[in-house]
Amino acid sequence: MPLHIDTPLLLSSQLSKLTGRSIWLKMDALQVPGSFKIRGVSHACTEYVSRGARRLVSSSGGNAGLAVAYAGRSLGVPVTVVVPQTTSQRAKELLQLENAEVIVHGDSWQEANELAVSLVGTTDAFLHPFDDPLLWQGHATVIDEVARAGLQPDAVVLSVGGGGLLCGVAQGLQRNGWGHIPIIAVETHGAASFHVAAKAGHAVQLDQINSVATSLGAKRVCEQAVQWSKQHTIHSVLVSDKSAVGACQRFLADHRVLVEPACGASLAIAYENSSALDPFKSVLVIVCGGATATVDQLQQWAKAL
C-alpha cells in the first residue's frame, strides 16, 4: 500500500470565474505530511527499505524532511534529519512529532546536506529532497490520478524549487500519453534557479536565495529538470513574494486550506489571471501544499511586503 493518498481533484468556482476558464486544483496540500513530497519520498523509502536499509537519512527541514520522517515512522525505520540553523522551531517540532532524530547544522541547506551525506552508513539510505529518479517516479502519480479521473487539461501549473515535482509531472504526462500538454513552471523572483537554468541550457548555481518562499530555495535546480525543458514544452514564469503570499491568503479564504508561499507562487498565476494562461481553456494547478506555514506567518509576511 502506498503511503500517500489519492488527493481530491476540484474545479475551483472562484478561480474559474476570476479567470474565465476552468481552473482545476489537485489538492496535494491534503497529503498527511502536508505536501506532495510524500508521493516520491514514500516510493523511494519503500524501495530503499526493501533493499535492506535500516535507517533513513535526510537533509531537509521542510516538506521533504517531514515526508521522510512520516514514511520512516510508517515503515518502522528510524529517521535522522539534518537541518540548517535557519529551520523554524515549528518545523523541528513537526519532525520530532514523527519521532525523527533532528540534528541542527550549518547556515544553509548545502551545509546541512554535506553533514547528512557524511552520516550515511552501509545500512542507511540517503533521501535527497529532489534529485532522485525514485522521487520523480513517485511524484508522477499525481498525473496518473488526474488521468484516472478523466480530466485532460490544456496545461499544468506547478511551482519549482529543486525540480523534483517538475520532473515527476513531466514523467507523468509522458507515461499517460500527454506529452503535448505544456507545463507552466512558477518561481518567485528571489528563488529562480530553474528560470536561470532554462535560459542557460544547464543548471546554474544562484549566488543567494532572496525570497520568503523558502521551499523554492534550491540554489541549483536538478539537471534532469533542465533536460525536461529541452524535451517538453515548459513555460517559466516568475512572480513576486507579495503575489505568492497574497495568493496564499486568498486561497485560505476561498478554499479553507492553508498553503505556504512556495505553493502560493503557482496559485498567483491564477489569482492574477496571468497572460501565461491566455492560450488555455482548462488548467490544472498542482496545489503542492506546505506543512510549516502558519496564519500568523502569512500575516507577518503580508505586512512586511
9-36+134-304: CATH topology: Rossmann fold (3.40.50)
Crossing angle between the packed helical segments 37-50 and 164-175, to the nearest 10 degrees:
80
Residues 214 and 262: beta-carbon distance below 8 Å? yes
d(C-alpha 243, C-alpha 102), whole Å: 33
Extract the C-alpha cell encoding 282: 482548462
**What is the structure's pLDDT at 217?**
81
Residue whose grid cell is 552508513: 121
Q: Across residues 179-187, what is the average pLDDT?
A: 98
d(Cα 284, Cα 208) in Å, to the nearest integer? Answer: 31
What does CATH list as the number for 37-130? 3.40.50.1100
Average pLDDT, the chain: 95
Is the pLDDT reported for residue 236 higher than 90? yes
Q: Is the pLDDT assigned to residue 107 strictly greater than 90?
A: no
Give the per-residue pLDDT at 86.
81
* Dist. CA 127–CA 299, nearest whole Å: 33
Longest dimension (CA), the chain: 55
- Determine which of 1-5, 55-59, 284-288 has the lowest per-residue pLDDT on average: 1-5
* Residues 251-303 pLDDT 10s: 999 999 999 999 999 999 999 999 999 999 999 999 999 988 899 999 999 99
Global pTM value: 0.95
Cβ atoms of 229 and 198 closer than 8 Å = yes
Per-residue burial over 193-222, b if 16 or more Cβ lie within 10 Å, else e, is: bbbbbbeeeebbebeebebbbbbbbbbbbb
- What are 95's three cell numbers? 519532525
Q: Is the dihedral of CA 101, 31, 218, 147 positive or negative?
A: positive
pLDDT in tens, 16-47: 999 999 999 999 999 999 999 999 999 999 99
Question: Rounded to whole angstroms, how far apart are CA atoms 216 and 214?
Answer: 5
Residues of the chain with CATH 3.40.50.1100: 9-36+134-304, 37-130
